[in-house]
Structure 1
Amino acid sequence: MKLYLAPIQGFTNSTFRSYVVQANGNVTKVFSPFVDAKRYRKEGEKVLKDIAKSIGSNQPLIPQVLGSNSEDICAVLTHFKELGFEEANINMGCPFPPVATKQMGSGLIPFPEKIDEILNAALQVGIKISVKIRLGWTSSEELEVTIPILNKYDLTEVIIHPRIGKQQYKGDVDMDAFERYGKMLMAPVGYSGDINSVEQLVNLKEKFPFVDSWMIGRGAISNPIIFKTIEGAEPSRKEVALAVKQLHNLLFDEFSATLSGPSHLMNKMKPYWDYFEVVFLPDLRQLVKKTVKAGTVANYQAAANDLFAKASREFE
């Protein structure tokens, strides 16, 4: 089974990816959060620091680029190739309005002629290309119009998140649309979206036997050893909590060393708890709240350490 770690902007940095690969041992590919092609034009190497950090590591990394025109995207793809990457992913799925309203990410889907131009130019760079896409920006019918364009090109794969961009990560996934459009694609099809348990993946595999790969993102933040679980291991709640602790501490140490000041550190760490908290609820809800509401780094560390220690004592 091909299992992929999804790119999540602001969360799945090189340290995160390295831990997940090492802790699980069965991750086929990991995708970097996108490099903004327009920003690369202005700032150059600076925007590639996270990707450069992963070169030569244990990560089977596929770098990702986001942009709205072929020239900017190809500049980034060329640099990826110079860094030694044989494959790159083009982001046509980012749902956030500041991105989509500029005809990037899922905001690119209503413009198939622009996608045609981008893919035609991208494949001339000499690097394999895959696409991560949604059903559309405002309607799933947008992808149906785009599929003939995707089918024109020799893409490594097309990974579909079965929501429209305007949903962001809310509401139900559209399984009917995913099945309909997935079967229309010539390239291998990947599935991405709301895989948080083995049971969910088993059900999806039975429903969509044509799917070639499975991408997990937010589920891997909540449970950093979810890939191991999918392959048949049965880690205890205590083991999952320990994995969260180890990942948390690695990220905390990195951000402590690289960010300027305690407020930046706290602002970077606290969003992870939207996902980390899953394994600790409902039993340790109060300690989770104490950690998230901590006003100083010292109080944050103390609360997090208390939480991890209690989980180690009480979880089976």
Structure 2
Amino acid sequence: MQIYMAPMEGVTNYVFRKVYIKHFSGVDKFFTPFITPHMKKGFSKSELMELNKEYNKGQYLIPQILTNSAEDFLKLADEIEEMGYSEFNINLGCPSGTVTSKGRGSGFLQDHEALDRFFYEIFEKKDNITISVKTRIGFSDYGEWDDLLKVYEKYDFNEIIIHPRLRSDFYKNNIHLPSFAEACNTFKQNIIYNGDIKTLDDVNAFKTKIFDEKVTGIMIGRGLVRNPLLAESIKENRETVCIKRTIEFLDDIVEEYMSLNFGERNTLFKLKEIWGMIIGDDDRYARILKKIRKSGGLKEYKTAINELY
């Protein structure tokens, strides 16, 4: 089973990915945080780093595009192709209000006829690239999934990544496995599962509920941040957590951000966000997490981290 690292804006970015592959193994594909078409301005500095082949060497990296315009997708794909990419992922999963209010991300799922036209134009004009899609199962009603299935099965996607929640669920409420099972019965394309994978037990529980040869992999976001060794655990079928390796990984993230002139304040902000996911609501480390979040500089931060040893 293949393992993909989900794109998480501001977290699993180019710095995180570069340092991750230095310390850990097991992830087969990485995805950039979504890139939106730019009508007048060029790529931002961070987008250029996300797409920089030299900086991202050693990764199977897929650019993810967020748009509801086939014309804009084709133009942006042409520009990114020139950087050496031939595989793209379309984001139809983002639930953010600022995204969905513009009919993008999971907001695009509300109009399956427009979505059908979007795909038709792309596949009609762009036959020299590989395209996958990351989707939710609807915007606000499970009944929407039937119409979306009819759209997706028409097109030659490399794979379809499914997060079996509605946009209205955001990242709460239970995943809807019946909708995922329906996709397995419908699609000829390879299917990737995404949602609530935090431990090896979660993976094994999923396998007992859904076993289909079309499910070729899983995409993990927060679970890989929470435990960076999770991909190795899944591949070896042996639960592994190592706080020492995790700290060494984050120490290198500090060095990488500082070498890129992010500054101490911005680097510390990134670290606090990551540690919030790693420790989360684990009461054993609540006191240390509080110290990390109160850190005003890297020296104070490192003092707090040393307590984890």
Matches within 5 A, 1:160-239: 160-210=162-212, 211-232=215-236, 234=238, 236-237=240-241
> Once the 2 structures are TM-superposed, how far is the Cα of residue 96 of structure 1 from its aligned partner?
0.8
Structure-2 change in CA distance of 1:235 and 1:20 (3 Å): farther
Structure 1 residue 283 corresponds to structure 2 residue 287: no
Q: Decide whether the 8 Å contact of 2:295 with 2:301 is kept in 1.
A: yes
What corresponds to 1:314 in structure 2?
A: none
What corresponds to 1:49 in structure 2?
A: 48
Which residue of 254, 257, 260 maps to 1:255? Answer: 257
Task: Measure, in 1, the Cα distance between the counterparts of 2:232 and 2:178.
Answer: 29
Structure 2 unmatched runs, 5+: none
Structure 1 unmatched runs, 5+: 312-316
TM-score by length of 1: 0.88
Q: Decide whether the 8 Å contact of 1:157 with 1:187 is kept in 2.
A: yes
> Once the 2 structures are TM-superposed, how far is the Cα of residue 248 of structure 1 from its aligned partner?
1.6
Higher helix share: 1
More deviation, 78-87/57-66: 78-87
Q: Decide whether the 8 Å contact of 1:130 with 1:155 is kept in 2.
A: yes
More deviation, 57-66/114-123: 114-123
> Once the 2 structures are TM-superposed, how far is the Cα of residue 235 of structure 1 from its aligned partner?
6.2
What corresponds to 1:108 in structure 2?
A: 108
What corresponds to 1:13 in structure 2?
A: 13
Letter in 2 for 1:128: T
SS at structure 2 position matched to 1:231: helix
Q: Decide whether the 8 Å contact of 2:19 with 2:253 is kept in 1.
A: no
CA deviation vs aligned residue, 1:73-119 (integer Å, no higher than 9, x gap): 21221122222212110000001111011111110111112222222
Letter in 2 for 1:13: N
> Once the 2 structures are TM-superposed, how far is the Cα of residue 258 of structure 1 from its aligned partner?
3.9
Q: Decide whether the 8 Å contact of 1:69 with 1:114 is kept in 2.
A: no
Q: Decide whether the 8 Å contact of 1:244 with 1:276 is kept in 2.
A: no
- Number of equivalent positions: 303
Instruction: Tell me which of the two structures has the higher relative contact order, counting C-alpha pairs closer than 8 angstroms and 6 or more residues apart.
Output: 2
Which residue of 135, 156, 159 maps to 1:157? Answer: 159
SS at structure 2 position matched to 1:41: coil
What corresponds to 1:87 in structure 2?
A: 87
> Once the 2 structures are TM-superposed, how far is the Cα of residue 188 of structure 1 from its aligned partner?
1.2
SS at structure 2 position matched to 1:186: coil
Q: Decide whether the 8 Å contact of 2:230 with 2:239 is kept in 1.
A: no
What corresponds to 1:60 in structure 2?
A: 60
More deviation, 224-233/54-63: 54-63
Task: Measure, in 2, the Cα distance between the counterparts of 1:88 and 1:289.
Answer: 40
Task: Measure, in 1, the Cα distance between the counterparts of 2:13 and 2:163.
Answer: 21
TM-score by length of 2: 0.90
Letter in 2 for 1:43: K
